Each structure stands twice: as structure tokens, then as C-alpha cells.
Structure 1
């Protein structure tokens, strides 16, 4: 965990690009006059931005994952939480399987009497082990956190790297996932304790990604997790392993700088193409096979341009020493979001943040607050959603 200090730091007002004044087809509007979209407070924001959001202030020191939760870690969790492989809580789905979706499926499932308890789930190919888990949602993230919360801390080690401070926890996971930091029987699960592992809140996530304790940027906040103003360079990936091959091109992030399907591509994006790869074991048809239950008639296949890179290999830290907070997978928080105007879903909406390997730079920026409506039908065809764990209080 990267330690995020400077408790009681000031918040700022931030323009939100989604569901503001965009066209009916995109519902996206970039900040006016190519500004940073960061304001001292929402009163100082342009009157044309009714959705200005006050974010980033956190009263206490806390920790946030140096990296997003990896495929290997999620597989360990699956085999702990579901040793019999019955998948009663939908922590797994078929589209995660490499035979169903060769390019994006990171986890395989095996059934039958010959499979030992706790062995039903496995990393599809070795190349996936240290990639971010890419089929996350709030529910899966909260149950992962509950497994940590109810588990046994085996060791806790402090370290430093330059100016960054870290705490490494080794935890034996618990099979109890329905209750812990979050009571999943509640209609709207929220934190139940002041100490323990958590999904970061919106403020905690934003502070860890964008708040500069050295007070650079705009009112001490960066536009990107990789720097105060300029868009990062674009990862180039090994086409069969997903490893980053251009880490010398700093700052760097795994995102799609010039999305041909985006009508609001971020002005000034660096040259490059969507970073992608396919496991060599999947063969030459890897990128051409899609799940059979894809929604018909929508021609979705051309939209899948980018794939995730190995965690940490971009080597560009946030102001607090966390990696990949821009691009790769969009990350869920535990903060409830108001439903945008015109939406009346029964499900809770939660903020998520950080952009994805498939999306332009505006989604990587501080103003790219997204809303996830908790719809599992959307999540199953969106292989760029993950989460990272946070910690509050003194966990022992």
C-alpha cells in the first residue's frame, strides 16, 4: 500500500466531462478553453458546468494499493471464497474464460469430480497473472475486500522508495465475503468500520491519483495521475505478452490516445495507437473471437481496440507512489454517485475513475468521473473494469 499523507488537505472543484452539456450522442463535454478543469472551489467554476464536483479532501492518513488487484490475486480469492466452484455469488462469469473470449478472458474454470476443492479457478495463461483483474465491479470488489477484512494479517512491513512510503500486508484470505467492511445483504452497502481494508472512496482515490503534496499543478492538483498538465505518452505492448516495451518514454500510461470512434478525442493527444496484445497460446484468431452472447446488431467488435498491460510496468507514479491510476482499467470506488439527469435506475450508481486501455485521455484526467450503474449485463462485455484496495486506520 502507498501511504497517502497530508491529512486535512484542501479539496477542489472539478469539472465533470460526463453527463454535463454534451451532445445527445456523447453526453461528454471537455473543460472550456482547454483548461485544466480544476477550480479552487465549485463557486469559481464556470456557470456552464452545473455538475462541478468538490473532491480530494481527506481528513486522515490512509493507504491505497500501489497497483490494482491482479488476475493472480483474484484467482486466489475465487478459490478461497468459492472452493467448491459453485459460483453462487456470481464472482465469476463465462466471459472471463479464455475459451469464450481469447483476447480478454484471464481466468479459466474447471468443474467435475476430479477437481480438488479450491482448484476450480486458474490463471488462463502465465501472461495474465500480473495483469489487472479486468471484470471487476463494486460487488466483486467489496467481497474481495471483505475476504481481506475477515482474514488474518500474517505480516505488516513498512518501506520507502525515494520520497514514497509503503506498507506491505501479507494476509490469509477468509472465505467469508458477504459481511465484513461491507454488509452485502444491505440494499446499499457502505463501510461498517473505521479501521480495515476498503475500496477507496472517491475522495481517497482522487487524492492518491492527483493531489500533489508539493503543491504543483492547479491548486495542488494534477490533471493526470502522471503529471500536472501534459497528457502521458502511450504504452507500446509486446503483442503476445502484454508487457510494456517503451518504459523509457516517461511519463507513460496504457490508454488509447487517438480513438477513431470518439467524437471528443482529447485535443493535443500524443501520437500512438491503442496498446493491445493477444496471448500467443490463443493462436492467430485470438482477436477475432467474441462471446456468443454479445448483443446482436450493434457491431461492437470494432470498439475493442486496447488491452491491459502488466501492472507497474509503465513506471510512472502518482504523486503518492501508486501506479497505473491512469489507463489500463477503470477502478471502482465505494462512493455513491447521483444518477445523471434523466436516469431512474433502481440499482445504486457508484463512481469509478482512471480511464481504460481502450479510451482517450479525457477519461484518464481528473475530470473523467464515471458512473457505473451496477448492471451485470454491461460489465460482462466491458473487459476494462477493475479495482484497487485501500486501508484506513491501523490494521494489525
Structure 2
């Protein structure tokens, strides 16, 4: 059975949990050969690693702990030593850090961030054959008995705001909503999803990818210009310049990064998830003047989801208008599930007032808070202490 503290450490490390908040296993436990093997296999062995500065601080902390453990045991066992691979990695990271100081870059740090989560055995997703193909299954052939788990790897910016958008990193509201989709599914958070869901302001794609891994058809949307396959109008020379950036995830436009992350997590042809451009301000136009995606969504009648989209007063009216248009008339029996971090009460109240003006009913969903000692997803702590509200929005009858 995997040591719980080691598995927690794995999930914290891969999700870029703040170094100062990480509590390592006891040093005299971490020094054991099987613990070191776990670190090498499950942390160093992960293909998509955190950015170098984070890794340097993390592995420096690990090596210090291992050295303390070796001194504490004071063992005569010649086989008990610190694996040289930890020292090699740390040396490599320190040399790399020194080299980068010679020519500092003004660009924000970009890093892979991996969220690993478990789906309860009683969750309906476990009965879905498509979902089973997307999950990592435990078996006696594996070195470690890890229960069935899902994995979402994203390329994110490690700053709060980039180019006026918060859409290039995963925020607390998305993690909370995803937690409740997994553990409080009996609250009908995603009822009437036979036609699938559409996510507004998908950002990094975390929530859309999670829902698709739960076996639900998803259209993931954000601001940007689509490829020619969706009849976008782009200059040919601009496409050629951006093509290479989008392939390696360097592009920092919301739709490009969303597309990159979705493709990186598309591990099965059965995982039905599309990325589409959707500008909320188009909702003010007559239907015949809107881009094609609006007509498609009007016909498909999808459940709406969104997380952390209530932060800019200037976007409140376009957002609520878009939700109103997509919900259509009351007889559609559609709903929008919104997860919001309340950073500014005035902005949040503006959203509620706008919903009322559009004949939209807002019901707050009462669910237990996520366990902070053993959460489904380890957060970055940027929104630590802020309130997250879950809302169900429907058309007033």
C-alpha cells in the first residue's frame, strides 16, 4: 500500500502547491530505499514537470530532509544512502538557474501543472466504459497499489494577470466546482446533460477536461479566433506565425492555450471535447448576425458551466446576456452552474442584479466545503481565505 504522505507529496509537487506549505514525511521514513524509489518513479518519472525554479526549491528541500534522515538513522548498512540522481538533478537545476540569471527574461514563467484526483467507486462515471479508458487503473503488476485515478495536465502562467485576462491559470473556483461534480453528484449539479455541456470562459480548460473525463460531451469556449475548420477568417501569414507557438503551448492567447491543453489531455478518441471561440458580446446581436457557434448552441440546448468568470464589472452584462441567450425560454428546462470566488462583493452583487433584470433565477447550492487537509485538488493558495459560491441559474417561469 502506498504511504499516504508520499502520495500526498506527489500530488502537491505536480500541482505546484506552494513550497512553504508542503510538509514532508518524517526524515527517517523518507530516507528508506523504497521511499526514495517512489520519489524517483512517481515524481521524477512524471513526463510533464513543474518549472525549474519550483523544482529547484522542492528538491533542495527533499535532499535536506534525506540528509537529516541519514544522520538520524546513523546506520551501518552500506546500502542505505541517498540516491545520486537527486544530487544530479539539483546540480543541473542550480546550473540552469545561474545561467538564466545572466540574461533574465521579462516573460512570465510558464509551467506544467498536473492535478491527480480519485473518483469514488460509487460515482456514476465509474460505470461508464468510456471513462474507464481515461483513468489510470491499479493492478498487481504495478509497483505501487494506487487506486483508480484521473489526471489533468495543464500548461499555465504562474502570474495572476496576463494581458488583462485571468484565463491562463486554474483558479480556486474551478477546483471547488470540480470537487463537487465528483463528490456531490447527487445534488444534480449536472442534470439534463444528455445533450452535453458548454463551458463559458474555459481558460486553461481544467473544468472542461474534468467533465469530459467524467464521460460528458463538452464544448469548451473562450475568447479568440478559431482555425479554418470552424470557418474563421485569419490572414495566412498570421496563421503560419502562430502555428508553431500553438503546437508547443507558447501562445498566450486564451483560445490557443485552451486548445493546447485540451489536445494534451485528449488520450482517447472516445473523449468528446471540442474547443470553440465564443465572444459573450455577440449575445447582444440578433441570432442571424452571430457567429455559427451561437446557432449550434441554440439548437443543442446544452447545460452551461463556468468558473471564476465574475471578476470584471465591465464583463457582467455580456456574461449575463450570454447566459440568458443560451438558456433560452423557460420551457427548455436548462440550467447554468456557476462557481464564483467572491473577491469583490460589489461586483458579485452587480452580477446578481443583472440576472434578476434578465429574468434569471439564482439559487445557491449548499454543499459541504472541500476538506483542506486532504482535498480532491491541491490549490495554489492564491485565493486562500476567499469565499467560493456555487449557483444554479435558471429561467424564471
TM-score range with shorter-chain normalisation?
Answer: under 0.3
Using the size of structure 2 for normalisation, the TM-score is 0.25
Identify the structure with bigger relative contact order (alpha carbons < 8 Å, sequence gap 6+). 1
How high is the TM-score relative to the length of structure 1? 0.25
Larger radius of gyration: 2
